[in-house]
């Protein structure tokens, strides 16, 4: 029995947002916390290279856990191959009204309607600057727009410029269901021009910063129709986006949910999202002919889940809700078991398994 399994019942008696904030404070002020939960180990089979970046393993922490980049140095000690912080917005904002996080314990899921609550880009940047000298894992920075901003590019372009040098990659988040009209940016009429201006800005930054090429990812929703997925894939290919993160949380509640909080508004993450996000992942690998790097997110709670997303076409994967339900030792367990799964299938390296169950037709 793990240490986390002993303390989780106590943690789950707390309000979810209070528990989350308490965990972040614990990690922030006690950076050696990881030693209580896991023994960090590296596996040669899991080392991989994606878009010129070297990863010790393909398991990352999804955005949302550390919105203000306060606990990166502690979090990297849990064995992650990369950590994505944010979403950060130009100005601080309090987000939506409380309560806004709900556990669905029977479903191993979470509903949140946070609304990009964060301390703003200046505080975020200060925290990044403090952490960078001791940061040993890849850092992703997830950026979004403020609630009251009408023209989204007025927020995304300055943030892209602000964090271009510090980030190993930047994620453009246009898929949270908790900011009004944000998902409209995924529509065909808006997306092409939006992506074009993002990538034009990137080209200018490459020239400005001695050809430093920071990968840019687009994070999309799992609730897109097949036609919408096709349109986004075309826009991503046309504008030469580096990658797509699949997926954000879902507003779908027709997922066989059993918990009492299923009527709460917001985005649902966790185990029920697994198949839905996998279908979008499978589609995108086909629609982009395997030419765009994909990061698989949604419902991963063990190595088999992570491996399935990789075999469907993900080069990397991320966890969040599983980290909360299964405990801080989850990353090391996934790494250990993933290494065994690769050996069982006769692979020397994780890169050999990408897309093997999703051949391009």
Over residues 241-284, the pLDDT tens digits come to 999 999 999 999 999 999 999 999 999 999 999 999 999 999 99
- The answer to whether the beta carbons of residues 88 and 140 sit under 8 Å apart is no
In the set 62, 176, 315, 321, the catalytic residue is 176
Query: What's the CA angle centered on 80, arms 340 and 132, to 5 degrees?
Result: 150
- Identify whether 281 is part of a domain: yes
DSSP-based three-state secondary structure for 269:
strand
Q: Which residues of the chain have pLDDT under 50?
A: none
- Report which of 317, 349, 310 is spatially closest to residue 331, judged by C-alpha positions: 317
Q: What is the DSSP letter of 167?
A: -
Which two three-digit tokens encode residue 84? 């994505």
Asked if residue 277 belongs to a domain, the reply is yes
In residues, how long is the chain?
361
* Residue 269 is among the residues annotated as catalytic for this protein: no
Q: What is the pLDDT of residue 188?
A: 81
C-alpha closest to that of 68 among 86, 42, 49? 86
Residue 361 placed within a domain: no
Phi then psi dihedrals of residue 79, to 5 deg:
100, 5
List helix spans (H) across the chain.
3-11, 16-29, 72-75, 121-131, 153-163, 188-208, 226-238, 274-287, 303-312, 321-326, 330-344
Distance, CA of 227 to CA of 233 (rounded, Å): 10
In DSSP terms, 169 is beta-bridged to: 140
pLDDT digits (tens, 9 = 90+) for 125-172: 999 999 999 999 999 999 999 999 999 999 999 999 999 999 999 999
Write the DSSP string, 51-71: TTEEES-SEEEPTTSSTTS-S
First to last CA, the chain: 46
- Structural domains counted in the chain: 1
The arrangement of strands across the sheet holding 267-270 comes to 101-104, 109-112, 267-270
What's the predicted TM-score (pTM) here? 0.97
Q: In this predicted structure, what is the pLDDT of residue 86?
A: 98
Task: Kindly state whether residue 73 falls inside one of the protein's structural domains.
Answer: yes
Residue 110 belongs to domain spanning: 3-353
Residue 359 lies in a domain: no
DSSP letters along 217-232, please? EEEE-S---HHHHHHH
Residues 6+ apart with CB under 8 A from 182: 144, 145, 152, 174, 175, 176
Q: CATH no. for residue 47?
A: 3.20.20.70
Backbone angles phi, psi at 68, to 5 degrees: -110, 15
Please check whether residue 231 lies inside any domain of the structure: yes
């Amino acid at each position: 029995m793990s240490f986390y399994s002993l303390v989780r019942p106590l943690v789950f008696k707390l309000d979810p947002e209070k528990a989350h904030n308490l965990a972040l404070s614990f990690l922030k002020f006690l950076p050696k916390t990881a030693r209580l939960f896991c023994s960090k180990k590296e596996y040669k089979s899991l080392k991989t290279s994606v878009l010129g970046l070297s990863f010790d393993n393909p398991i990352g922490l999804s955005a949302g856990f550390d919105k203000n980049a306060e606990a990166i140095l502690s979090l990297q000690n849990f064995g992650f191959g990369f950590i994505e912080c944010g979403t950060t917005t130009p100005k601080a904002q309090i987000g939506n009204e409380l309560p806004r996080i709900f556990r669905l314990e029977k479903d191993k899921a979470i509903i949140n309607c946070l609304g990009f609550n964060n301390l703003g880009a200046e505080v975020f940047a200060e925290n990044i600057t403090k952490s960078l000298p001791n940061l040993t894992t890849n850092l992703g920075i997830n950026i979004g727009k403020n609630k009251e901003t009408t023209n989204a590019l007025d927020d995304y372009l300055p943030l892209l410029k602000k964090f271009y040098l510090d980030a190993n990659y930047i994620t453009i988040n246009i898929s949270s269901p908790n900011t009004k009209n944000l998902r409209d940016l995924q529509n065909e009429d808006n997306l092409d021009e939006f992506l074009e201006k993002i990538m034009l800005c990137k080209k200018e930054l490459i020239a400005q910063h001695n050809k430093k090429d920071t990968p840019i990812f687009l994070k999309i929703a799992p609730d897109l129709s097949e036609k919408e997925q096709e349109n986004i894939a075309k826009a991503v290919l046309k504008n030469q986006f580096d990658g797509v993160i699949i997926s954000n949380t879902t507003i779908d509640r027709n997922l066989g949910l059993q918990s009492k909080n299923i009527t709460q508004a917001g985005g649902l993450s966790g185990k029920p999202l697994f198949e839905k996000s996998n279908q979008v992942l499978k589609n995108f690998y086909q629609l982009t002919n395997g030419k765009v790097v994909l990061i698989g997110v949604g419902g991963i709670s063990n190595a088999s889940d992570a491996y399935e997303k990789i075999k469907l076409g993900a080069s990397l994967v991320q966890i969040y809700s599983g980290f909360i339900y299964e405990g801080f030792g989850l990353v090391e367990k996934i790494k250990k078991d993933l290494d065994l799964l690769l050996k069982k299938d006769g692979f020397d390296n994780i890169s050999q398994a990408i897309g093997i169950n999703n051949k391009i037709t």
